[in-house]
Amino acid sequence: MKKFFALLLTGALALGAAGCGSKTDKAADAEKPETTGAEAVTLKIGASPTPHAEILEAAKEELAAKGINLEIVEFTDYVQPNLALDTGDLDANYFQHAPYLDSFNEEHGTKLVSLGAVHYEPMGIYSKSIKDLAELPDGAKVGIPADGTNGGRALLLLEANGLIKLDPNAGTSATKLDIKENPKNIEIVEMEAAQLPLSIGDLSIAVINGNYAMQNGLKTEDALAIEAADSLAATTYANIIAVRAGDETRPELVTLLEVLNSQTISDYIKNTYGGAVAPTA
């Protein structure tokens, strides 16, 4: 009989301990944040330092809350980040617009696609020697990006400011050969986009991409002219997240774009760049 009561007491204590443990576990679980149960995923993203890498940095916290760790690799040119994406060294990149990506694919045989747009950077005309485009001397050296799409965009900006007249059929693919009128006989000097701010002292004016202008301390208010918000460029040259064809539906990449188009990042862009960078969402 004593043995029987001892067994009953042991069982009761075990049940009590189990019950207390269950309550404790539930209380602890209630304090834990909700998770999907999946391990965190790391995305390796190539980006130009300004503003692309900065915008990605601003998105890190929100992405981490969604189980995505962001590794940002900075590039200072427009070629290597696409080559690295194509070879699989990157999961995505963020530095270019769709026309440039299309041109790159055609030239290099790559199969990269746009996941979606994030922001737009107006291109501007800058100078160290003149304060007004009306002062531009005859035969002036005018720097523009050497790549096809940014070069065409620069020529459109020069045309919009009365410096040249282009073939009306050229559009965003315009080249020097499409110049039909050049009243000041300006000399178009093509060079790597990243070199334009560094060479501005050797040029009368230079047409510079927004990110390279910012990287070199050139502000929107310093520009002699800037692309209009309703210009062809504004509707064509939004900066995109590029991925390999077939990766458009990868959940972590879809989430990346969603976060970059969120109100948080939109506010960050507006508050940080003072109009030099504008969110598309």
Hey, what CATH topology would domain 41-121+237-279 get? D-Maltodextrin-Binding Protein; domain 2 (3.40.190)
- Residue 96 burial by Cβ neighbours in a 10 Å radius (0-12, 13-18, 19+): buried
Residue 50 phi/psi, 5-degree rounding, is -130, 130
Here the tokens at position 39 are 């391990």
73, 46 in Cβ contact below 8 A? yes
Where does 124-230 sit in CATH, by number? Answer: 3.40.190.10
Confidence (pLDDT) at 38: 61
Taking Cα atoms as reference points, which of 44, 237, 195, 224 lies closest to residue 130?
224
CA dist., res. 20 & res. 253, Å (int): 43
Task: Return the domain boundaries, the chain.
Answer: 41-121+237-279, 124-230
Domain 41-121+237-279 and domain 124-230 have a common topology: yes
Q: What is the pLDDT along the chain (281 residues), one digit of tens a residue?
A: 444 344 333 444 333 333 333 333 433 343 333 334 468 999 999 999 999 999 999 999 999 999 999 999 999 999 999 999 999 999 999 999 998 999 999 999 999 999 999 998 889 999 999 999 999 999 999 999 998 878 999 999 999 999 999 999 998 889 999 999 999 999 999 999 999 999 999 999 999 988 889 889 998 888 999 988 777 777 788 999 999 999 999 999 999 999 999 999 999 999 999 888 989 88
Q: Where are the alpha helices (DSSP H) in the chain?
A: 2-31, 54-65, 80-86, 98-108, 148-160, 210-215, 232-236, 251-260, 263-273
CA dist., res. 171 & res. 225, Å (int): 19
CA dist., res. 86 & res. 1, Å (int): 79
Confidence (pLDDT) at 278: 87
Confidence (pLDDT) at 123: 92
